Amino acid sequence: MNIDLLSETGILHVEQVMGTTVTLDVRDQHLTRAELARAVLAAVEALHEADRMFSTFRPNSAISQLRRGNRQPEHLPADVVSVLVRCAAAAELTRGWFDPWAMPGGFDPTGLVKGWAAQRALRQLTRWGARHALVNAGGDIAVSGNATATPDGSGWAVGIQDPFQASGLLTTVRVREMSVATSGAYERGSLAIDPANGLPVLRLASATVIAADLALADACSTGAGAHGPDALLWLTAARGVEALLITLDGERLTTPGWPTGETLDPAPGA
């Protein structure tokens, strides 16, 4: 069920798509209700278009056809080719720990494409006039502007779930023009796959990554979950990326620039 909540400060829309719940929170008082609706409609269409292209559960999706060998990369839509390139770059950055080509059943970009789709939806919101917005795709979050809908606000407060308490928060970070992705076992068990053998692994309780782009944050958190605590080495080396890893015994490991109170903004040129 899709839900819209309108207020004087904007619109809150909930969409079921890509096998998860996506929330669009737009807080722009300068937009009319018609303009808000148009922005949300464009963002929602971007999400469903991503699902049509990348769902491994849709037999006619471009990815399903690629997995069956029915389509070659050079005959794929431009967006799919772009994601393939992004996956290759993410595999290199994560030193092979994020590897969609090593997934059971064939190529599966799910660990990057959910973030890619959410970032794309945010881009549609801003294209249609939204300056202060948040897209939450199953816990992977991209934001623009400020929650207060004012130019001098302090970004958005993003809560990070405690992997040991389903209803608890581990911490809260403030971000502006940034994205936050978390991978963890939580209620459904480990979703991390070791690319060396295609088997599920449980090497971290959770991995949270902040980056300017949600596709990158999503891929890095996925790769970190597969690698374990040693992922902190390549996460620290990655430009424009900050991370919080929670080990299986509850230890917190962070990159040097992990926010400890102030709002985190994108690094210049990120």
pLDDT over 90, % of the chain: 79
Domain presence at residue 266: no
CA 66 → CA 51, 69, 90, 171, distances in Å? 15, 5, 20, 40
pTM for the model stands at 0.94
CA–CA gap between residue 254 and residue 242 (Å, rounded): 8
Flag whether 41 is in a domain.
yes
Look at residue 267 and tell me if it is in a domain: no
* Residue 126 belongs to domain spanning: 3-254
Residue 234: how many other CB atoms lie within 10 Å: 19
Q: Is 268 within the bounds of a domain? A: no
Report pLDDT digits (tens) over 169-185.
Answer: 999 999 999 999 999 87
Q: Structurally, how many domains does the chain consist of?
A: 1
> In sequence order, which residues have a C-beta less than 8 Å from that of residue 104 and are 6 or more positions away?
193, 198
- Tell me what pLDDT residue 190 has: 62
In a domain, 126, yes or no: yes
Alpha helices in 75-151 (DSSP H): 78-93, 110-127
In a domain, residue 60? The reply is: yes
| CA distances for 68 relative to 18, 43, 63, 107, angstroms | 20, 30, 9, 10
Confidence at residue 182, expressed as pLDDT on a 0 to 100 scale: 96
Any idea which residue has 């909930």 for tokens?
Answer: 14
**pLDDT bracket for residue 269 (50, 70, 90):** low
Q: Quick one: the chain helix, strand, coil %, rounded to 5? A: 35, 25, 40
Quickly count: other Cβ atoms within 10 Å of residue 148's Cβ. 14
Averaged pLDDT, 199-209? 96
Q: For residue 91, is it within any domain?
A: yes
Whichever domain contains 223, its CATH number is 3.10.520.10
User: How much is the average pLDDT of 148-160?
Assistant: 92
Residue 144 lies inside a defined structural domain of this protein: yes
81-140 confidence digits (pLDDT tens): 999 999 999 999 999 999 999 999 999 999 999 999 999 999 999 999 999 999 999 999
User: Using CA atoms, how far apart are residues 143 and 169, in angstroms rounded to an integer?
Assistant: 19
- How confident is the model over 180-200, as a mean pLDDT? 83
pLDDT given at position 74 = 79
